[in-house]
Every structure is written in C-alpha cells, then in structure tokens.
A and B are shown apart, each in its own frame.
Chain A
Amino acid sequence: MSLEKINTENKLKYHVVIEWLPMCRSRSVQTLKQRPDLVYKINEFTKRIINLCETYKNPIQIDQNYNMLGIRTWWQNGQDLYHFLMNQEKNNLRVIPELGVINQINGKLMMFKFQVKKDGIFVI
C-alpha cells in the first residue's frame, strides 16, 4: 500500500478525521510556531497514523495540510475503514464520529454520524 495523492482514479470515497492527542487539539498555527514540543508530538502522531494506514492494501490518503481538529484521511475501501474504526480503541486513537461518503452516482459528499459499538458500527 502506498499513500496516494489525490486523484480521481483512486476513487477515494470515505472521509474521517482522526483526533490529535489531547494536548495538541485545537492549537492554532500561531501557537504551534511557539511550541516545538507540540509540533514534535504532532509529527510523531502523524507517523504513527501513516504506519497504521500502510497496513491496509487499498489506497488511503492523509491530508498534509494542518487541521486543528486532527488528521483528515480519505479511504477507498469501506471494509478497510470499518476495520480501522473498530480497532481505534485498541490503537489508542479517537476518530471523530462523523463520516463523509462521496456518492458514486452524483459525486456529492454526504455526511453521517456514527457510533462504534462492540458488535459493529451504527451509521445514523
């Protein structure tokens, strides 16, 4: 698996945001300029996410632009994302429970809330 750049051929369909570690959340770029310790943690966290994503065989794109909420990720395969979401606790991660899905028919992004439970993911 390789982390692909945005391109329509990949048909990246699903979007979720993985929250930063608690001490890094909601930090402005201005703040980060004065806090190299946080930048270091953010970089280490990003590397961890990249390593995790590389265990999946289908393309996943990690947005390189800084987002205050967390790391924006785009997934091609629903089963990969399902597995990732089910294992977030085990991996010591928290994914913001909002799922973006691009409709293959009209190309529009649809947003859903979801809940991860032991017996599966419930999309609302």
Chain B
Amino acid sequence: MQNQIISVVGELRSDKIDSVTAGIMGTLIVSGSHELAAQANYICVNDVDLLEGLVKNKAEKTVVLTPKNYYTKYVFHNGVECVPEFEDLVPYNFDPYKCSQQSMSLALACWLGNPVIALFDYLLEPKKETPALKAIIKLYPLIQFLYVREKKGNKIGIFDDMLNVKQMDYKEFVNFYEKYVLRKN
C-alpha cells in the first residue's frame, strides 16, 4: 500500500503524537529536533546549532535538508542535502535562512507535491507563522491541507475562509486516513 499523505510536523512542541497516528503519517517531514525526527523521511533545519546533532544522530533513511551555506560543511556526508529552491515561492521572497523550520518543511511538502498534506504540532502565531501558512495554503488550492491537533478544543477561525483546509483531531485523522486510503485503492 502506498502512502498518499505527506505529514509535516511543526514547531509547536505541544501535542504528543501517539503511535497509532505516527504509524499512518505517510511521508514524514519534521521541523528541527522534534521527537519524531528519528522516524522522519526528511528533517528541515536552518539552525546551525541543531544541525550538527541532527546529522550525527539521524536514522539511515532520513535526509536532513538545510540551506546552502550550512550545507557546505556537510557536502561529503550521506543523507544531507541542500534545500531546493522552491520556485513557486520565489516571488514571495521565501528565505530559507530566515523562515521558520516549519515553514521550510511545509514548503518542501508542497514542492514534493501531494493531494493531501497534514500538519501536526504546527505552531500558529499571528505575526509571522499564521500569515506564512495561509499564504502557502492559498498558493496551492488543489492540495487538501489537514490541520491536525491532539485535541481539537476550540475551533480556530483563521481557516474559515479557506476551502482547502480541514481541522481535525487525531481520531478524525485516523478516520480520514482510512477512508482516503480505501477510496484510493
């Protein structure tokens, strides 16, 4: 069975992702040193201090992505790559050195491309993170984004005007995944 979901784990550092949910996240992109880094397909990092530790401790299958100037130190290492230029984001002055690691992860997910991208433990913050997230979501109207929290709590209104975003908790995500996979196969 192929995974049809790309999951981005953000930098909220609040939700504990249980093993059931972690097992169905599909292609996993982790931002910085999240506890799920050990099972990530990709780790996006633009913090030099974190980078060395992540490169040293990464799993064999994991690819660590970092901006070019930081990458040069690890050119000869296996499983470390330079973050690609995200062509769609060039007009928006996307800067891999200055953006958050979770924005880089999200940009990578959109660049890789998939009908469904799920966001876990994703930090929302009105100054920078939320506008960046909304801008990227608007740029990809054909991608269904899932904003997934451990517990849904109060519904966040910031996505109300966006048709391609669904908010859900882990249980709903598991249901969505099962239906989505069943429908696809």
Contact = CB atoms under 8 A, between A and B. Distances in A.
Contacts of A101: 75
B82 interface: yes
Contacts of A112: 72, 75
Nearest to A104: B81
Interface string B67-96: 010001101111001111000000000000
**Which among B65, B72, B73 has the greatest number of chain A C-beta atoms within 10 A?**
B72
A68 interface: no
A67 B18 CA distance: 57
Contacts of A123: 72-73, 75
B72 A124 contact: yes
B28 interface: no
A108 B76 contact: no
A40 interface: no
Contacts of A77: 78
A123 B141 CA distance: 40
B63 interface: yes
Interface string A80-121: 011000000000000000010101111010101000000001
Contacts of A108: 84
A79 B76 contact: yes
Contacts of A99: 75
A105 B76 contact: no
**Which among B68, B76, B83 has the greatest number of chain A C-beta atoms within 10 A?**
B76
Nearest to B77: A78
Contact of A105 (B75, B78, B84): B84
Given A105-B63, A105-B81, A81 B72 contact: no
A121 B158 CA distance: 49
A101 B74 CA distance: 12
Interface in B5-56: none
A51 B73 CA distance: 29
A79 to B, nearest CB: 6
Given A104-B63, A105-B63, A105-B65, A121 B76 contact: yes
Contacts of A124: 72
A115 to B, nearest CB: 11
A123 B81 CA distance: 14
A77 B75 CA distance: 11
8 contacts: A78-B77, A103-B81, A103-B84, A105-B65, A110-B68, A123-B72, A123-B73, A123-B75
Given A79-B78, A101-B75, A103-B82, 19 more contacts: A78-B75, A78-B76, A82-B76, A99-B75, A103-B81, A103-B84, A104-B63, A104-B81, A105-B81, A105-B83, A105-B84, A106-B84, A108-B84, A110-B68, A112-B72, A112-B75, A123-B72, A123-B73, A123-B75
